[in-house]
Structure 1
Amino acid sequence: MRGISAKSLDEVLAAVGAVTSGLGDLGGELFGVVAVLDQNPVLRRVLTDPSTESPARAGLAQQVFGPRVSPDAARIVEIAATGRWASGRDMSDGLELAGVTALVAAADAAGELSAVETELFEVGRLVRSDAELRQTVSDRALPVAAKTQLLVDLLGDKVTGTTLALTSQAVAARTGSFERALAAFAETAAARGNRLLAEVRVATALDAGEEERLAAALAAKYGRDIHLNIVIDPAVIGGITVSVAGEVVDGSMSTRLEIARRRLAG
């Protein structure tokens, strides 16, 4: 988010950072506010209309949302309404990120941040591996509530509450596909821990020592702690493939064999 929207977003996120309790509930409430704004474009336009005085916009936000959410959530929505946004959509996107940030902070406080990062990655893999499931969660013609319930039934108590809440929000696919939203939420979680995410593909599982050494080597290279998402992929044959920070290091045997085959073929 750039321009005038970036400053307003910073103010909203700072307000989230000032909240010290009930962050999980706060995240869910902010997602609810975003859903209302998405369904009511006229309200969204009024709340971001620069020709309307800030106190009037704040008053409207309080009138609409105050009775429906906690004081902390109402205050954050008021701050958003008094900000300057390049578009009404930017405000909704900012409040969604505020909800994600609140949930991630709750997971961090509970010592579950690393688990959430891994779970979001695994949920993304699960959806990609099942064509029918992927088509269902990506179908914009289906009600969001129905898709959310499907994931709740599927994931149940297999993941943390934070992961379930973030996955359910990703189904709305407000800023792209379900998978893109899920990846963005995982990046927010990683940023909370000042980490980068690395996808590691190997033919067989790494032991704890190997994982530690790999994480340390990547941390030294990128200057940040690294969260490893390990994928067991028999197609790798041997060696390892690592994707991190937009870079792919492919040291797999399958790739080396393919390169040799091409050279022999001329």
Structure 2
Amino acid sequence: MGSATAQALVASSSALNAAQGITLDVAGELFSVGRLIGESTALSGALADPAAPAEARTSLVSRVFAGASAPVQDVLRAAVAERWSSAADLVDGVEELAVRATAIAAPDADIEGELFSVSRLVAGNADLELALGSRLGDGEGKAALVQRLVGASLNPATTLIVTSLVRQPRERRVRRLLNRAMRIVSAQRDRIVATVHTAAPLSAEQRSRLGAVLTGRYGRQIALNEVIDASVVGGLRVQVADDVIDGSIAARLADLRQKLAG
């Protein structure tokens, strides 16, 4: 990500946070608009053209998306008024704004946890991952497949994110899309994701204690994703971004074997 894009994302996210009337319908509109921009190299290029005055780019939004709701137009105009490192970055940025809008519209939904569950489902089913990631088949068919498989079990906000992402993966792996969406939702809610590998399910008390410890360590609220992993043997292995805290028996045994071998 270029520095221009990073600054554009901060400014665009601020505009989204300041917007009024952000609902799931508005988030859905943003996803649709992002797909339309991503499908047209001419449109994405014009909206991200650094040589064009910001007024020309915002005017283009008003003309092309005149039928969009007021919040969507406001957010889009704020986004294209910024300088992006590339047209592709602008498309990614609009997609991120749509994910953030979904999180705003459903503040009580466990979107991160449900996205993690879908990611685990995809990881454990090679045929499903192939079907969703294949260049063959249309986006609507992939969205319908997701809806049939998991739609009824998910919050509508999570379903909106998953079905929207698989409609236009832009050559990205499905699990990568889901993990990115998870990080965006957590960032919007000012918390970070911790993936906990454990040999047995954690109790509510254990999850609460672990969350408190991690919050103290990282200074932010924690969204815990739990993975049952027999290789852990006992204890826990926790990953927060690139930081791994391995307190499992398996890790201690491996360390002991290494010391004995040395």
TM-score (norm 2): 0.90
1:255 corresponds, among 230, 251, 257, to 251
1:224 corresponds, among 188, 201, 220, to 220
- Counterpart residue number, 2:103: 104
- 1:120 equivalenced with 2:115 (yes/no): yes
- 1:245 equivalenced with 2:241 (yes/no): yes
Letter in 2 for 1:8: A
Letter in 1 for 2:52: T
Shift of 1:58: 2.4
1:200·1:228 contact (CA, 8 Å) conserved in 2? yes
Give the match's secondary structure for 1:190.
helix
- Counterpart residue number, 1:215: 211
- Counterpart residue number, 2:163: 168
Letter in 2 for 1:206: L
1:175·1:181 contact (CA, 8 Å) conserved in 2? no
Shift of 1:163: 0.7
Give the match's secondary structure for 2:106.
helix
Residue correspondence of structure 1 range 28-177 to structure 2 within 5 A:
28-67=28-67, 69-108=68-107, 111-112=108-109, 115-171=110-166, 172-174=168-170, 176-177=172-173
Q: Which runs of 5 or more structure 2 residues have no equivalent in the other structure? A: none
Q: Which runs of 5 or more structure 1 residues have no equivalent in the other structure? A: none
Distance 2:57 2:217 in 1: 48
- Please say which of residues 195-204 and 166-175 is displaced more in the overlay: 166-175
Letter in 2 for 1:71: A
Distance 1:224 1:74 in 2: 32
2:21·2:71 contact (CA, 8 Å) conserved in 1? no
Shift of 1:56: 3.0
Distance 1:236 1:126 in 2: 20
2:28·2:98 contact (CA, 8 Å) conserved in 1? yes
Shift of 1:263: 5.9
TM-score (norm 1): 0.89
2:177 corresponds, among 181, 190, 198, to 181
Shift of 1:19: 2.0
Residue correspondence of structure 1 range 188-199 to structure 2 within 5 A:
188-199=184-195
**Percent same amino acid at aligned positions?**
34
1:203·1:237 contact (CA, 8 Å) conserved in 2? yes
1:164-195 CA-to-partner distances (Å, cap 9, x unmatched) read 11112332334832211211111122123322
Shift of 1:260: 4.6
1:219·1:226 contact (CA, 8 Å) conserved in 2? yes
Distance 1:190 1:262 in 2: 37
1:131-168 CA-to-partner distances (Å, cap 9, x unmatched) read 11111112123322211111111112201111111112
2:198·2:226 contact (CA, 8 Å) conserved in 1? yes
Summarize the Cα distance change of 1:232–1:8 in structure 2 as closer, same or farther, 3 Å threshold: closer
- 1:14 equivalenced with 2:9 (yes/no): no
Give the match's secondary structure for 1:11.
helix
Letter in 2 for 1:218: L
Letter in 2 for 1:125: R
Summarize the Cα distance change of 1:81–1:201 in structure 2 as closer, same or farther, 3 Å threshold: closer
1:26·1:72 contact (CA, 8 Å) conserved in 2? yes
Shift of 1:61: 1.8
Letter in 2 for 1:56: A
Give the match's secondary structure for 1:50.
coil
1:201 corresponds, among 194, 197, 201, to 197
User: How many residue pairs end up in the alignment?
Assistant: 261
- Please say which of residues 116-125 and 181-190 is displaced more in the overlay: 181-190
RMSD: 2.1
Distance 1:181 1:119 in 2: 14
